[in-house]
Chain A
Amino acid sequence: MRLKTRYPLIVGLVLVFAYFYAQNGIVATSVSFSAIQLALPLALAAMVGVMCERTGIVNIGIEGTMLISAFTAFFLGAIFKDTVLGVLVGIFTGSMMGLLLALMAISWKMDQIIAGVILNILAAGLTSFLYRQNYSIAGTLSPIEIPILSDIPIAGAILSFHGPITYFGIFIVVALWFALYKTSWGLRSRAVGEYPSSADTAGVSVIKLRYINVTIAGGIGGLAGAYLSLEAVGIFERGFTAGKGFTALAIMIFGRWNPLGAFAAALFFGLAQAVTSQLMIDEVVEIPQQFINILPYVLTIVILAISAGKVRPPAAEGIPYEKEKA
């Protein structure tokens, strides 16, 4: 988001919250709490996009990465009755998906859109073939009470008592922002995404850096998948990710390929969903459930249509790198 729109937006949100809080305190807090929970997988998935695209790789396989990681996290977590192990398995699975994308996009120079679609279809095929009923995990990851923070009125109820992946996820967002803009790794990555040949001239190994980043990004996608199956609900179903990986791409663009911007955009999506559900429950509006469900998709399209032409993706995005021959 642009700097000049950022502060009015935050002030506006606080005012809106204050208004609703004055109306009904408990509802306002619970809506904000669930907004964070709805936003988190989108934010993490958007980090995958940010990290890949900043180095010049388009990743539309985030959906599949999340799906198959949610799957392996859930089933290995269930088989070994160890939820934490499940999370680790999810991260590993995600990074393997990232590696596969890197292989197709970087080494084989395949069209990156097709490579991403292959990831999605492979994940859907594998998970629906291997899916078994009657598995259950020992329990979802338990919420954490943050000391001090939970004693603060309002903010404590909204920000405390989330699960461990939520807090780790927020840490990842901040860390990725810091790493991208304040470290030499970030400078190199961004250079590779914008102008790979001059990064190469400056001694950066374009291929290697792209491989590393896309693989790590895959791991983050795996964490997002594990969040869905092990922290948010504790089950796995076929087609479980329901388009979140694609919505994440719109969030990434809305956030202008900046981790903090994308996080804010994800919160906006989460809030929109949480508020609509609440309006439904309160019977303020009578909208068929199906229309509530399509809200994130409509938002995605609208945001893309509005932001097109106003935002600029990394310049080298989608182009396989070929060393110039002297």
Chain B
Amino acid sequence: MKRLPLSGVLIPLLSVLVAMFFGGIMIAVQGINPLYTYEVLFETAFLSFDGISVTLAKATPLILSGLAVAICLRAGLFNIGAQGQLISGALASAWAGYYFVGLPTLIHIPLALLFGATFGALVAFIAGALKAYRGVHEVITTIMLNSMVIAIADYLASTPFKEPDQPLTRTPAIQDSARIPDIFGLPFGFFIAIAFSIALWWLLRNTTTGFRIETIGRNRNAGWYAGISVKRVTILSMLVGGSIAGIAGAIETLSITGRFEPAFNAGLGFDGITVALLGRGNPLGVIPAAILIGGMRASGSTVQFKTGVSPEIVDLLLALILFFVTAPLLARLLKRRHENVAITSGWSN
């Protein structure tokens, strides 16, 4: 899609600023200086090497979950299920991480990532197949699957996969051979995420698969007339999205948390929705969006410590950003054409 390069960057950027303005009002109402709050936020997230390292670590799963949503958006599917796919992948990779003993690192890490991708894709497949063959809207199925995966993962981590002899609901720690290391103090997973962004960008631009995805995304009927198997491409897009979300969970497990614990991955997949729309559904645009949001997430607790603003301010900011980036308000103010993302299809068609 050819877009004016300026408005592709300008509107997301403005959305963030306007969201921060309204968020600032909410902070000021509590009697706290919003400018100081934002200063602390950005200083913590972006102005020191350690800060940047943490920000990139937080951005890693967001890039991937953002990609999981973005690739489906390109196919005209709204994958709200990145959260469930991510948790499924996180648990599967944690299992592969602790169950296999004595593997060399170079085999163990890819194996655990593969487990994550497979189980993320499995969850997405259910939604994709129901969409393709039964016409059930993916928004409903993916949300229901999110809740189901969370409950099932909770059960698995509390009974069959539970770490023995301690009270917490969690799996044993992964083997050292499955741990993803930092390189030069920066999280290695971040570079994997960037590689996925570039690969997807290339896939959409230069391959027939990418062309098929984009075509059914713009017009399912046109795709069908052009001889594209809409069913197959629908399922394929969900599989790609699900496996990337699964890898997001796997990288989080293998590099940050070191095991699966139900509360660990809360919200990462949902942030992916904001990341994808802020990045305008572009696999490369997802990267700066994720770094920005990762930075906010990374500095939340420091902000609370220094200013007293609760870390949930980030949730509020993200919601506002999402609103302003998708609503045509700002585009109208700038007298630019707003491209409405169109993904509506009825509940059963």
Which residues of chain A have a CB within 8 Å of any CB of chain B? 58, 60, 104, 108-115, 117-118, 121-122, 124-126, 128-129, 131, 242-243, 246-247, 249-250, 253, 288, 290-291, 293-294, 297-298, 300-301, 304-305, 307-313, 317-319
Contact = CB atoms under 8 A, between A and B. Distances in A.
Given A117-B273, A125-B318, A243-B143, A307 B348 contact: yes
Contact of A113 (B78, B141, B148, B322): B78
A272 to B, nearest CB: 15
19 contacts: A104-B327, A109-B340, A111-B344, A112-B344, A113-B139, A117-B80, A125-B312, A126-B319, A129-B316, A253-B347, A290-B151, A291-B152, A297-B148, A301-B145, A305-B134, A308-B134, A309-B348, A313-B346, A319-B344
A154 to B, nearest CB: 35
Given A110-B327, A247-B144, 18 more contacts: A108-B327, A108-B328, A113-B78, A114-B78, A117-B139, A118-B323, A121-B273, A121-B322, A124-B319, A125-B317, A129-B26, A249-B347, A290-B152, A293-B151, A297-B147, A301-B130, A308-B347, A319-B344
Contacts of A108: 327-329
B315 A250 contact: no
Tell which of B141, B341, B343, B346 has the most Cβ of chain A within 10 Å.
B346
A301 to B, nearest CB: 5
B78 to A, nearest CB: 6
A131 B315 CA distance: 12
A307 B134 CA distance: 9
A60 B341 CA distance: 16
B348 A117 contact: no
A252 to B, nearest CB: 9
Tell which of B155, B313, B344 has the most Cβ of chain A within 10 Å.
B344
Contacts of B327: 104, 108, 110, 118
A124 B315 contact: yes
Nearest to B328: A108
A301 B136 contact: yes
A311 B318 CA distance: 37
B348 A253 contact: yes
A304 B341 CA distance: 25
Nearest to B73: A114
The interface residues of chain A, by DSSP majority, are classed as helix
B270 interface: yes
A73 B136 CA distance: 34
Interface in B305-339: 310, 312-313, 315-320, 322-323, 326-329
A79 B269 CA distance: 35
Contacts of A114: 78, 277, 326, 341, 343
A313 B130 contact: no
B322 A309 contact: no
A291 B342 CA distance: 35
B312 A129 contact: yes
A125 B319 CA distance: 6
Interface in B87-111: none
A208 B136 CA distance: 30
Interface in B130-175: 130, 134-137, 139-141, 143-145, 147-148, 151-152, 154-155, 158-159
Contacts of B152: 290-291, 294
A59 B349 CA distance: 17
B33 interface: no
B80 A300 contact: no
Contacts of A288: 155, 159
B345 to A, nearest CB: 7
A40 to B, nearest CB: 20
Contact of A318 (B159, B315, B323, B344): B344
Contacts of A305: 130, 134, 136
B143 A111 contact: no
Nearest to A116: B139
A300 B341 CA distance: 27
Nearest to A112: B344
Contacts of A125: 312, 315-320
A106 to B, nearest CB: 13
A249 B140 contact: yes
A304 B348 contact: yes
A247 to B, nearest CB: 8
A243 B142 CA distance: 12
> When A and B form their complex, which 9 residue pairs have the shortest distance between CB atoms, in order from nearest?
A125-B319, A308-B348, A318-B344, A290-B155, A290-B151, A129-B316, A297-B144, A125-B315, A129-B312
Contacts of A298: 144, 148
B253 interface: no
A300 B144 contact: yes
Contacts of A115: 326
B344 A113 contact: yes
A243 B81 CA distance: 13
Contacts of A113: 78, 137, 139, 343-344
A307 B277 CA distance: 31
Tell which of A124, A290, A311 has the most Cβ of chain B within 10 Å.
A290
Contacts of A246: 140, 143-144
A110 B326 contact: yes
A243 B149 CA distance: 13
A319 B349 CA distance: 14
Contact of A121 (B26, B130, B141, B274): B274
Nearest to B338: A108
Contacts of B328: 108, 110
Nearest to A287: B155
A216 B104 CA distance: 62
B159 A294 contact: no
A117 B318 CA distance: 13
Contacts of B340: 109-111
Given A111-B340, A122-B319, A318-B344, A294 B141 contact: no
A55 to B, nearest CB: 14
